[in-house]
Structure formats: structure tokens, C-alpha cells
Amino acid sequence: MEGYLQRILRARVYEVARETPLDPATRLSQRLGHSVLLKREDLQPVFSFKLRGAFNKMVQLPAEQLQRGVIAASAGNHAQGVALAAQRLGCSAVIVMPVTTPRTKVEAVRSRGAEVVLHGDSFDAAQAHARSLEEERGLCFIHPFDDPEVIAGQGTIGMEILRQCNEPPAAIYLAVGGGGLIAGVGAYVKALWPNVQIIGVEPLDADAMTRSLAAGERQRLEQVGLFADGVAVREVGEETFRLAQQVVDRMVTVDSDAICAAIKDVFEDTRSILEPAGALAVAGLKADAARWPQGSALVAVACGANMNFERLRFVAERAELGEQREAMLAVEIPEQPGSLRKFCRLLGSHSLTEFSYRQARGHRAQIFVGVETSNRQDAMALTALLEEGGFSCVDLSSNELAKLHLRHMVGGRLPEAAPGQDPVPERLYRFEFPERPGALMAFVEALHPGWTISIFHYRNQGSDVGRIVVGVQVPAEELEQWQQVLAGLPFQSWEETNNPAYQLFLA
């Protein structure tokens, strides 16, 4: 950490950035039994902390370099920081952004006079293209995280937190993508208050820093989740990792449902809507809260609010599941008078959020039901009560197929084979791919035309990732050929043939 305290103290950020407040999250504090404080970086002019590091780097460039211009690669927030800094410093800026970047962020960058180049499906592809344009045009590359002056600019957040706290907090939670934020804040805080824990938070499907710290060397992810696009980085920076090894006490990982619940929590306390990466630290704090003595002071950096409006539909749908305030159940009831009435009586005071009925073979029926619950224990108690009442019950609350697709598909089954013909087995697969114009057509064309598609359900919420579930009928003698086709598709996939949600309602 040698030299970073001085770099941070000398950092020039306040020509574009503001000192953001450290606000109490009253409702969340009451629920968790701690004093939860939100560092409101979502209130910056570009709705993200990223302008701090970008400006601190650019303001120190030689005049001749500024005259030639700068270039950056970013999923959005660093791009806006560079664009604003270039606008203030009077230089040109080229920003390479993944094609999957939400429209809100692309338009925000263009509105500040920067040239936007859309390239690739990930940050890594955008960065590689930016590096080639850097040499081609003689521009200066402004790294989003792996640069000492960028790290120092982000470290001014730690300086403000210490100044705004009456006494040291127990911990500071920070979202981790490439590592610039946690490296800068951690370097400053550990230099002055070494007992304050610095805790990083990553999505389960974008946990490069978690894996790297555990392995003792940087790890590169083969795939990275796109929901929290602001932290969708396959490999953390070399310098940020070096600092993280010294300043990070531990890492916490959370899923998309927990992030959605955190967005809702912050909204209820502040009436502000964070983007997924911006709410990551809050989600990690909530997941980690039980580790601390009651009444502990815990700080979470709300680091961004560049939310794509269309994504709110997905957030609202999943927030209740993330808070464990909704349970999704598959319930089997006998087809006889009074069964449905008995089932409803067992629900008691629990309100229904969803109810789909599908008659099954024989004298049984399947109900797909969403039920409001107060917590996970309440859901488990309700499931046990239904079982005792004679209703076979499967909890699907953690089942991705059910949450993403089944709740919109209940009601159809594969037709029976014609007399004298053997039925062709159906297999079910779930796919995800970066959403972009023409992506759905590219997916359809990549499927082999020789097999019958028996199920096809597509969901795109927030223009971040396309989600498809496909049922395909493959004769047993052609199964090896199908597996080869599947392996050759450039999409993440999961086989769901044995998923209980599929078996109960669609198989």
C-alpha cells in the first residue's frame, strides 16, 4: 500500500465529483438490528463513483496527450466518467462499449459528446477493441480500474467515509468488479483504521476476485453473469489484486434475487433506484449481517444508479423471492370435491401471488402457486402443513427454470404418440446468451433443423440477457449427434430434463 495514502490525499476529483452523504438506512437498520449507513455515490453527476478515478487520471495527463484524446472500454459507468472528464478538460473521448450495454448508459455517454463504439458481447471484447483503436488513433487508454491514479480517485470515497463517521464502523462493504473501488477505499481505510473490515461483494456468477484471493493468484472466469453488468469482469486487475490481497478481509457472494431485494430495500429507505451493481454492497451486507454483534455500524457503498428502466420488471418479480417473502410451490391435489377448498383453508392468512392449475393423468391435479411468506422458516412451516394435510408439495423457490420460465408456461404437455408409434423422448434445455439485435434469430438458426422442437419459451427482461428454454425430441440413436451439436453452440446451457418443475407440469 506504500504511497497510496499520499496519492489519495492529492487526488483531484472535486472539480467534477461531489462529496456524497453517508445516509442512515432507517428501515433496513431496524430489520437487521444494526446501524446501516449508505454511502450515496448514486448521487454523483453521472450517478456513479466512476468519475472520481477517471478525472483524477485524465487531469494529470500531459497537455499534448489530452490534445490527441483519450479512449476507454466500459459497460457504462466508467464511460460516463471519462466522457464527463473529457468534456470538462476540453479533449475528445472515444468509448468502446459492449453491444449488451443498456441503452440508458449508451445514450448518457453520447449526450456528453463522446464517440461511442459498440463492440463485442462482454467487457473483455470491448477492451481488446479499444486497445487496438488506441494504437491506431494514437489515443491514451484510460483503464477502468487497473491504474494507480484511477485507484487513488476511487479511494477518496474511503477518505470521505472516515471523515463522515463519528467513530470507526465495524465494516465497509464494497461491490467488486475489476477491483478499483475496493483497492482504493481499502488502501486508505487500512492505513488509518486498520481494524475496520473491508469486505468485497460479488455476484455468484461473476466472482473473479473471490476465486483469485482464494487461489492466491488471479483467476480468469470462463463465463460471467450479465445481470450486474457494472461488475461483469472476467479477470480482476493486476494492481487491484495486489492491493486486495493486503486490504480485503473477506469476500461475500450473492445471487440475482438477493441483488433485486437489495434494490427494493434501498428504494424503501431513499426512494432511489440503484442499478444491480450499485446495490451489490447492500445485498452483501444483508447476507453477512448475522456475523456481527447487534447494533454494529455497517457501511455499504451504493455505487451506481444507471438503471435500465425495462429491467425493473425483472427486479420487481424477483425481489420478493430474494427477501424470501414469496414461496413458489408445486402442490398435488386429488381430483375430488372439496380438495381445493381444503387446500385454501390450509393456506390460512397467506396471500396468493400466483395460481396456475393443470389437470394431471389419473385422479390428481397439479397446482403451481406463489404464496406470500414472512421469511424462509414461514415457507418451510407452510410446506410441512400442506404435507400433513395430504397434499404432496415441492418447494420451487430456488428453481431457476420455475422462476424464469415455468410460471409463464404452466398448462401444456407433449401430445401422446399416435397408436402403433413409439414416443420420441423429449429433453429440456435452458440457454442464456448476451442480448443484442438479432440474437434470438442467431440462436434459432444455430439449432439443428433435423429434430422436432416441442417447447420454446423466450424471455428478455432489461435487454441484458436473453433466456430461452427449449424442448427437443431426439431419437435415442441420435442422442450422441445431438450432444455434439449442443457442445458446439456458443451459448451457456443447462439440461433441465430431470428438473422437478418440468416433470410435474410439462413432461
Q: 148 or 447: whose pLDDT is higher?
A: 148
Task: Compute the average pLDDT of residues 69-86.
Answer: 93
* Mean pLDDT score of the chain: 87
Q: What is the pLDDT of residue 121?
A: 77
Instruction: Go through 35-55 and write b for each residue having 16 or more CB atoms within 10 A of its CB, e for each that does not.
Output: bbbbbbbbbbebbbbbbbbbb
Alpha-carbon gap, residue 113 to 104, rounded angstroms: 15
So what CATH class is 4-44+166-320? alpha beta
Q: Where are the domains of the chain?
A: 4-44+166-320, 50-141, 324-398, 426-505
Q: Is this prediction's pTM over 0.85?
A: no
What pLDDT sits at residue 292?
Answer: 97
Q: What CATH number does domain 324-398 carry, 3.20.20.70, 3.30.70.260, 1.20.120.530, 3.30.70.2700? A: 3.30.70.260
Statement: residue 55 has pLDDT above 80: yes
pLDDT bin (cut points 50, 70, 90) of residue 108 is confident
pLDDT at 329 over 60: yes
Q: Which of 97-106, 201-210, 306-315, 319-328 is predicted most confidently?
A: 201-210
pLDDT of 58: 98
- CATH entry 3.40.50.1100 includes domain 50-141: yes
Q: What per-residue confidence (pLDDT) applies to 376?
A: 83
Asked whether residue 353 carries a pLDDT value surpassing 90, the answer given is no
Contacts 24+ apart (CB under 8 A), 271-275: 272/40, 272/42, 272/43, 272/302, 272/305, 273/305, 273/307, 273/312, 274/42, 274/302, 274/304, 274/305, 274/307, 275/228, 275/230, 275/304, 275/305, 275/306, 275/307, 275/308
Contact (Cβ atoms closer than 8 angstroms) between residue 222 and residue 206: no
Dihedral, CA of residue 154, residue 160, residue 166 and residue 169, to nearest 10: -10
Query: What pLDDT, on a 0 to 100 scale, did the predictor assign at position 463?
Result: 47
Confidence tier at 369 by pLDDT (50, 70, 90): confident
What average pLDDT does this structure show over 499-507?
81
CA dihedral 59, 60, 64, 66 (to 10 degrees): -30
Grid cell digits, residue 3: 504511497
The residue that leads in pLDDT, 80 or 491, is 80
Lowest mean pLDDT among 366-375, 387-396, 458-467: 458-467
pLDDT digits (tens, 9 = 90+) for 166-191: 899 999 999 999 999 999 999 999 99
Tell me the one-letter amino acid at 325. R
* Architecture label for domain 426-505: 3-Layer(aba) Sandwich (3.40)
Percent of the chain with pLDDT over 90: 54
What is the CA angle 71-72-75, rounded to 5?
Answer: 150
Whether 343 contacts 385, CB under 8 Å: no
Task: Confirm whether 50-141 and 426-505 share one CATH topology.
Answer: no
**How confident is the model over 61-88, as a mean pLDDT?**
93
> Which of the pair, 457 or 196, is modelled with greater confidence?
196
pLDDT reading at 414 higher than 70:
no
